[in-house]
Amino acid sequence: MKSKREAVQMKTLKKILFALAIGILLIWALFPIFVMITISFKNKFEIMGTKTPIWPENPIITNYIKMWKTVPLLHYLKNSMIVCFATVGLSLLISVPASYAMSRFHFRGKDTYSVMVLATQLFPGIIMLLPIFIMYSNFTALTGIPMVKTLHGLVIAFATFGVPYSVWMLKSYFDSIPNELEQAAMIDGCTRAKAMMKVVMPLVLPGIIATAIYVFLLAWNNIMFTGILADQSTRTFANGLQEFSSENGTEYGQLMAACSVTTIPLLIIFLMFQKQFVGGMTGGAVKS
Amino acid sequence: MKKSRKTNPYLWILPSFICMSIIQFFPGILSIFMSFTKLDVSYVRRPFEAPFAGLGNYSRILQPGTSLGNSFLTSLMITIGFTLASTILGYLIGLLEAMLLNQPFKGRAVVRAVFLIPWIVPTIVSAFCWRMIFLRDFGILNKLLLSLHIIDEPIFWMIGSNAFLVIVVARVWASCPFIMISILAALQTIPTEQYEAAKVDGASAWQQFRYITMPGISAVSKVVILLQFIWGSGEFTIPYAIFNQTPPKEANLISVLVYSNTFSTWDFGGGAAVSTIVLSIMLVLSVFYMRAAMRPSTDD
């Protein structure tokens, strides 16, 4: 009898510990988001006060209205959107054929190529920043095509940064699709390219979406390259956020409101595509 | 067979090859070249005419007393410590999350989605959130600790060795979803029968972990740890944004050091030398790690 009761007690204890661990980790994951949203609804006195509670006592929405005037956010948002979508498009255009070839064809130099793809991951961003700045400047001097301080300059750099990981992720997606599908289409008279577009692409769409989200975030997150390669007119949103700090102090409420405005749409999109995204991340990054 | 001979695989990889060569490999090589020259702002338009400096930039960096020399070694140590600490902590939290999620329970899908949220929050946004949390006077953490009477005086989180803690916490938060989801995927490939059989044989929870779970996730873990190490060592946004562009020396990671030094003094040669040293260290460490952790794999 006693041992049975002990076993039941053990089980309850385990359950409590389990719930506790989940609870703590949930708070850990959500805490910064909670801080961001609550502060965005606070007025200056509530933010700067040392004795005020951590939630907004008198929620206001002025931060969400004023922020557009304090910093030309709409302009930066437009720049970011152009850069990010163009980056995703270009990056996929480059990495889809490459990853397909990696998955389907055997060719001389394939191993060298895949080492090359992996080796790019070793380069810290900072090592490429100065040379790219110099290369862009010289390209402009030679051809007259502006590169520094342009949106397409950013797109070319970010799209390339996205390529290696995208090739890696997409390759494993193509690996999971049986080759017989294209063979059948090709017997019916399709070319390899056509078979890929018509038959395989719809099946790897989840992988494409996951890759697209990854590349989008890569471009969206960057402040190192945009800080140097962009100017006032081509500045992106992530960089623009820093403008809430000036000599007169930081507009914390507006900063958090601007952060919320960018993050919440991303979160909604992510939750919608969560399944594909998870599949894509694990399919590409980890293949044991 | 005829059809497949028509398609030339090199054409398929050519665009990616060209892009990576021009935007990643050439700049990498150019950077190494620059590190041996006295390249400053006057040579930006003619980088190959910059005077040769030999090892001048390197000796300048490694010599205390110069502006770069003073900060370089500290920054290097901080970067290594930061990378190690955040990789280990991130791995442990990610592992815990994955193991919890591998159990069936009500609301598991929701919990998993919440655990993944940090992955999607832009790093710059989370960095600003951490600043709001760790500020001394009206930071949320001090407010919370004061109101719970855990501390009597607000703590200076953003200066001294606490600043190091702040960037580690921010990095761990941002990196654990990737680690979690990678390990979870591996955990789910372990057949549950193995655990049942072990239980029948009377294996303890630790033994089950040691002899079933650990072998099942070791391959994934090695890759994930390597990636975290490489990505962590290049971290820029977290210290740069949390400390409003001027981190204290305890949080001044190499990327920030090179960035702020190069573009304020236009000392491209010195910056390139720092980058080259870091790249070499990472290269050596990665190769060493791969030799030790991963046996040469035979898969394609």
* Chain A contact set for B121 (CB, 8 A): 32-33, 263, 266-267
CB A171 within 8 A of CB A99: yes
The amino acid at residue B288 is F
Q: Looking at the structure, do residues A74 and A40 belong to the same domain, yes or no?
A: no
Q: Looking at the structure, do residues A192 and A228 belong to the same domain, yes or no?
A: yes
Q: Is A176 helix (H, G, I), strand (E, B) or coil?
A: coil
Q: Looking at the structure, do residues A162 and A75 belong to the same domain, yes or no?
A: yes
Average pLDDT on B50-76 reads: 83
Q: Is B10 on the interface with A (CB under 8 A)?
A: yes
Q: Looking at the structure, do residues A77 and A34 belong to the same domain, yes or no?
A: no
Question: Which of A:237-266 have CB within 8 Å of B?
Answer: 238, 241-242, 245, 250, 252, 255-256, 259, 262-263, 266
Average pLDDT on A8-25 reads: 91
Q: Which of B120, B115, B139 minimizes the C-alpha distance to B128?
A: B139
Q: What is residue B203's predicted lDDT score, i.e. its pLDDT?
A: 87
Residue A54 located in a structural domain? no
Please tell me which residue, B66 or B87, carries the higher pLDDT value: B87
Token readout for A41 is 């609804």
Q: Is A142 helix (H, G, I), strand (E, B) or coil?
A: helix
Question: Which of A:92-121 have CB within 8 Å of B?
Answer: 93-95, 97-98, 100-102, 105-107, 110, 113-114, 116-117, 120-121
Mutate which of A96, A105, A134, A248 to test chain B, going by most B C-beta atoms within 10 A?
A134
Q: Which of A261, A270, A211, A209 minimizes the C-alpha distance to A80?
A: A261
**Band of residue A281 on the pLDDT scale cut at 50, 70, 90:** low
Token readout for A109 is 């130099």
Q: Looking at the structure, do residues A230 and A141 belong to the same domain, yes or no?
A: yes
Q: Looking at the structure, do residues A38 and A127 belong to the same domain, yes or no?
A: no
Gap between the Cα atoms of B12 and A103, Å rounded: 11
Q: What is the pLDDT of residues A136-191, one digit of tens each?
A: 988 988 898 999 899 999 999 999 999 998 998 888 888 888 888 888 888 888 88
Token readout for A248 is 């007169």
**Band of residue A2 on the pLDDT scale cut at 50, 70, 90:** low
| Number of domains comprising chain A | 2
pLDDT exceeds cutoff 50 at A288? no
Token readout for A183 is 């063979």
Q: Is A192 exposed, middle or buried (0-12, 13-18, 19+ CB in 10 A)?
A: buried
Q: Looking at the structure, do residues A175 and A39 belong to the same domain, yes or no?
A: no
Q: Looking at the structure, do residues A29 and A132 belong to the same domain, yes or no?
A: no
Gap between the Cα atoms of A51 and B146, Å rounded: 9
Q: Is B246 exposed, middle or buried (0-12, 13-18, 19+ CB in 10 A)?
A: exposed
Residue A53 located in a structural domain? no
Residue B160 distance to chain A (closest CA, Å): 22
Q: Is B193 exposed, middle or buried (0-12, 13-18, 19+ CB in 10 A)?
A: exposed
Q: What is the pLDDT of residues A37-54, one digit of tens each?
A: 999 998 888 888 777 778
Token readout for B138 is 């009206």
Any residues with CB less than 8 A from the CB of B113 and at least 6 apart, and which?
A: A271, A274
Q: What is residue B300's predicted lDDT score, i.e. its pLDDT?
A: 38
Residue A57 located in a structural domain? no
- In sign, the C-alpha dihedral spanning A186, A191, A196, A202 is negative
Q: Looking at the structure, do residues A221 and A253 belong to the same domain, yes or no?
A: yes
Average pLDDT on B123-133 reads: 94
Alpha carbons within 13 angstroms on the beta-carbon side of residue B180 total: 29
Alpha carbons within 13 angstroms on the beta-carbon side of residue A193 total: 8
Any residues with CB less than 8 A from the CB of A284 and at least 6 apart, and which?
A: A165, A168, A169, A170, A171, A172, A173, A207, A210, A211
Q: Looking at the structure, do residues A184 and A124 belong to the same domain, yes or no?
A: yes
Q: Is B173 exposed, middle or buried (0-12, 13-18, 19+ CB in 10 A)?
A: buried
Q: Which of B172, B16, B165, B154 minimizes the C-alpha distance to B93?
A: B172
Range of the domain at A236: 64-285
Gap between the Cα atoms of A84 and A90, Å rounded: 10
Inter-chain touch B154–A50, beta carbons under 8 Å: yes
Residue A25 located in a structural domain? yes
pLDDT exceeds cutoff 80 at B254? yes
**H helix or E strand, kind and range, residue A249:** strand A249-250
Percent of chain A topping pLDDT 70: 95
Gap between the Cα atoms of A236 and A254, Å rounded: 17
Q: Which of B169, B217, B215, B177 minimizes the C-alpha distance to B94?
A: B177
Gap between the Cα atoms of A204 and A212, Å rounded: 12
Question: Which candidate from A39, A156, A186 shows the least CB-CB separation from B132?
Answer: A39
Q: What is the pLDDT of residues A71-110, one digit of tens each?
A: 899 999 999 999 999 999 999 999 999 999 998 888 888 8
The amino acid at residue B29 is I
DSSP state of B21: I
Q: Which of B192, B177, B216 minimizes the C-alpha distance to B104?
A: B192
Residue A56 located in a structural domain? no
Average pLDDT on B52-74 reads: 82
Q: How many helices (H) and strands (E) does chain A have?
A: 15, 2
CATH number of the domain residue A201 falls in = 1.10.3720.10
Q: Is B236 helix (H, G, I), strand (E, B) or coil?
A: coil
Q: Looking at the structure, do residues A169 and A213 belong to the same domain, yes or no?
A: yes
Any residues with CB less than 8 A from the CB of A52 and at least 6 apart, and which?
A: A45, A46, B143
**H helix or E strand, kind and range, residue A269:** helix A252-272
Residue A87 located in a structural domain? yes
Mutate which of B12, B41, B213 to test chain A, going by most A C-beta atoms within 10 A?
B12
DSSP state of B295: P
Q: Looking at the structure, do residues A216 and A186 belong to the same domain, yes or no?
A: yes
Q: What is the pLDDT of residues A261-280, one digit of tens each?
A: 989 888 888 888 777 667 66
Taking each helix axis from N to C end, the angle separating A274-285 and B161-187, rounded to the nearest 10 degrees, works out to 90
Residue A59 located in a structural domain? no
ipTM: 0.86
By residue count, chain A amounts to 288
Q: What is residue B252's predicted lDDT score, i.e. its pLDDT?
A: 92
Inter-chain touch B224–A224, beta carbons under 8 Å: no
**Band of residue B1 on the pLDDT scale cut at 50, 70, 90:** very low
pLDDT exceeds cutoff 70 at B295? no
Q: Is B288 on the interface with A (CB under 8 A)?
A: no
Which residue ranges form the domains of chain B, and what is each CATH number? Answer: 76-293 (1.10.3720.10)
Alpha carbons within 13 angstroms on the beta-carbon side of residue A120 total: 25
Residue A255 located in a structural domain? yes
**Band of residue B169 on the pLDDT scale cut at 50, 70, 90:** very high
pLDDT exceeds cutoff 60 at A287? no
Alpha carbons within 13 angstroms on the beta-carbon side of residue A183 total: 7
Average pLDDT on B96-118 reads: 91
Q: Is A192 on the interface with B (CB under 8 A)?
A: yes
